[in-house]
Amino acid sequence: MTCEQSRDALFGYHFATLNSDERTEVERHLLECRGCVAELIALKRAIETAEHGFPASNGAKARVRRAVAEELGLAVPARPVRARWERPVAFGFAATAVVCAVLVAHAVATGPAHLPRAQEGTAIESR
């Protein structure tokens, strides 16, 4: 495999879209060619630290990997195991958001409408 062929295949190598023979050829070339290893590292860096937009979350990356693996008929990677604390914390945030929304709705529905009457009452008493 030439350097040009190797560099053309690096994108597919990174995303695991090469067949087994192509992958083996690229790996054989990479063992002998520091220039192509440097190219692969630069490509991986460019892909993984894309300067445009926000980096994908780990969950999004896992979903893409699963979808690609299913599409290609490869072994589907296992679902990431959530840390024990993640679910209660997420539930806590959701519950807090709901409580805040209810409080804001209540304040908007009842708060300002009662103020003028109360102020009128105190104004009359003070005169």
Closest separation in Å from C-beta 4 to Zn ion: 8
With CB under 5 A as the contact rule, which of the stretches 30-38, 48-56, 86-94, 102-110 interacts with Zn ion? 30-38
**The Cα angle at residue 89 between residues 86 and 84, in degrees rounded to 5:** 30
Nearer to Zn ion, 25 or 69 (CB): 25
Query: Binding of Zn ion at residue 26 (CB under 5 A)?
Result: no
Query: Binding of Zn ion at residue 3 (CB under 5 A)?
Result: yes
Among candidate residues 67, 45, 40, the one with its CA nearest the CA of residue 55: 45
Distance CA 59, CA 62 (A): 5
Q: Residue from 9, 18, 26, 36 that binds Zn ion (CB under 5 A)?
A: 36
Distance CA 72, CA 27 (A): 21
Residues that bind Zn ion (CB under 5 A): 3, 6, 33, 36
